[in-house]
Amino acid sequence: MDNHQADEEHELVMELSEKDSLLEKKKKLLKINHFDPNGKVKIKSICSIELLNSVLEEMLQRARIINADEVDLYFGGIDAFGFCSPRNELESLHTILSLVDKSKSTSEQIRPKVLQDLMNATLNKIHEFSSNIIEDTKILSKWNLHKEKCLLQWGESNGVKSKLDIAFVEGGGRGGIAREDLEVGDIALEIPLSAIISEDLLHETTMFPILEKVDGISCETMLLLWSMKEKYDNNSKFKIYFDALPEAFNTGLSFGMEAIMALDGTLLLEEIIQAKEHLRSQYNDLIPSLCNNYPNIFPSNLYTWEKFLWAWFLNHSITPHIMNYGRVDPTTNSLKFPLSRPCNNGEQCYLSYGNLSSSHLITFYGFLPKGYVDNPYDVIPLDIDLDNKEDVNPMCNWSTHMVRGTWLSKKNGIFNYGLPIPLLEHLREARMLMLESNIEVQEKLELELEILEDLQSTFDAMMENLGETEPLGRENCDWDVKLALDFKELQKRIISSIVSSCYNGKKATTTEREKEREKQMINYLLPEEIEEFLGIPTRSVRSFFSDRWSKFHLGSNPAEMSTRDQKLLKKQQNLYFLRRSENKEMINLFNIITYLQNTVSIHPISSDSGCDMVSKDKTDIGSSTKISFLNKNPFFDLFHLFHDWNMGGYTWW
């Protein structure tokens, strides 16, 4: 191959879906980060390892944006092309694998070796990602698995192919355990269409002609109604499957009163109540009329409220092995479950339920997944008034706002604090509408302190609303109470992290504000004063502080106070200097500089050679004379910086 061919560039196209509800945000995000909005990534026919890794990194950054959901973008901000979540990372890497695989089979321009190298590099990243996930699978051998073994045998006799065994796992109930080391792309489970409970199966039943006439009924609801009856049919093809299912599913929908009471003030309580209301409404709209009108097909004893709730169970993980499933492979006429990341022999193989919060998983599936404290979808929605103003920054223009545990954030510095940028920008915008467009740094810092104070107050109230957790022995609690307490502790931890971030943010912002004040102060000091201010002594401390003076006499007649002296007093709480001491402690000197008022008479010690004598009866000395007098003494050199800042007047910073 000649040099021209070796340097030839080719394109891989990573397009955004036009059906994506976040399409415009993602387009703007690509533009902000200088990516081709058309999704073109260039690759040379012959690549060095460095160039190949560079191309892969660019593709990964694009894929993260393409696969980002609302939570990823909201908390990721303009850095959403960085690592967002385990789900996003796996989906992004598999987007690249799929694209390269298609290009490899269709392209005649790009050399297969380049694509194979790119695929291998992507697989290496998946292995690297998976190696950071530590799974400790403890199998409980004492449990009777007779029903489960019968289920596996039934599946095999019906054409099911599995590389998983069923076992009871500590802390997780029943789970699928890998029989061997499984790699990315390996099929953990394959179920033929004939063994799948699907919509096609419904068409063969006597209830389908009735259900299809029900306005707005979904396929899922039809299957739910079918399974409620099929479970009790001794001649059912799926009898062994139904027999292997538990008689009752312990979910949030079946929480007892003690567990409900323990959830007072939590998001989970709201979700359980709303879910029950929705399901009860669905039940009341469907079941009574079906049972009354078609009692032979829908016998009332099989369609009770308790049996209606009996339809929710499986196992979920924050970092699942199987993410892409649900479509029948037309070539094999089967449903396949390929691995998205490696699963070692003896390790539990997890299935993804989707991007769900812990409250949703408890409500409908009855468990908290392993690593639930790091679930990126455990968010707390905020009720904030929003305007319709279009924000130039697409990452700050949101219709809703939320927070989550700040330990998930990588941005904890000033102006970030581990809090979501869209929320902070919205709160800043709400306050800045009342300010001038070009505000000084110090005003911005004051604004930050206000925002953090308001947020801390809000979440302090949330924490108080959750109340104190009773010191109950978890081992003596029922399953539902234990689950309720675990969730309440999770929500408390999230809120506590917000409060801590606000507190630490206020400390950092206050420090930054003082630094800014120092900068402004130094700008108006003489060289020798700068040295003194920074702690490099060039003259005695006595020349700076009031122990050289006998006392100050403050006048009491307000009429004698000039207009500019009144202006001087407006922000007395903001005047600070560095005291000359080893720890550089900040002190308020307002009380010892009130001599700057026209009503002040200063009486120096006669032995002080640095100033002229002022007689006690000269209390009507003019302001200009007084300034001239003050400048004669080194002690007062420090205070000349207050003069001539605003066209000759006094001001404060």
The closest of 178, 225, 232, 235 to 197, measured between CA atoms, is 225
Q: What is the pTM of this model?
A: 0.73
Task: Count Cβ atoms within 10 A of the Cβ of residue 585 and give its class: 0-12 exposed, 13-18 middle, 19 or more buried.
Answer: exposed
Q: Is 187 exposed, middle or buried (0-12, 13-18, 19+ CB in 10 A)?
A: middle
Rounded Cα distance, 488 and 269, in Å: 10
Identify any residues that bridge with 380 across adjacent strands, giving them in sequence order.
403
**166-221 per-position pLDDT tens digit:** 888 887 778 888 999 999 999 999 999 888 887 888 888 899 999 989 988 888 88
Name the residue among 512, 318, 529 with its Cα closest to residue 413: 512
What's the pLDDT tens digit per position in 229-279? 998 999 998 999 888 888 877 889 889 999 999 999 999 999 999 998 998
Q: With bands split at pLDDT 50, 70 and 90, how would you rate the model's confidence at 142?
A: confident
What's the CA angle centered on 126, arms 122 and 128, to 5 degrees? Answer: 110
Distances (CA, A) of 134 to 347, 371, 606: 10, 10, 79
Q: What does the pLDDT look like over 303-338, one tens digit per residue?
A: 998 888 776 553 445 555 555 556 678 888 888 899
Determine contact, residues 427/463, Cβ cutoff 8 Å.
no
Q: Mean pLDDT, to the nearest integer, of 392-412? A: 79
In whole angstroms, give the CA distance from residue 219 to residue 206.
Answer: 15
Residue by residue, DSSP assigns 561-582 as: S-HHHHHHTTTGGG--EE-SST
> Dihedral of CA 467/470/474/477: which sign?
negative
User: Where do the domains of the chain lie?
Assistant: 3-131, 146-197+238-251+312-370, 379-522, 540-642
Collect all residues with Cβ–Cβ distance below 8 Å to 329 and sequence separation of at least 6.
335, 336
CA distance from start to end of the chain: 71
pLDDT tens sequence across 83-141:
778 888 999 999 999 988 887 666 555 556 888 889 999 999 999 998 888 777 888 87
Q: Which residues contact 87 (CB under 8 A, 6 or more apart)?
A: 318, 320, 323, 352, 355, 376
Average per-residue pLDDT for the chain: 75
Q: How many CA atoms lie within 13 A of 181 on its CB side?
A: 1
- 473: which residues sit within 8 A by CB, 6+ positions away? none
Output the CATH code of domain 146-197+238-251+312-370.
3.90.1410.10
What values do phi and psi take at 403, rounded to 5?
Answer: -135, 165
CATH level 3 topology of 3-131: set domain protein methyltransferase, domain 2 (3.90.1420)
The residue whose two tokens read 């006690």 is 616
Query: Is residue 469 over pLDDT 70?
Result: no
d(CA 137, CA 252) in angstroms, rounded, equals 25
Position 617 confidence tier, pLDDT thresholds 50, 70, 90: very low
Contact 559, 620 (CB under 8 A): no
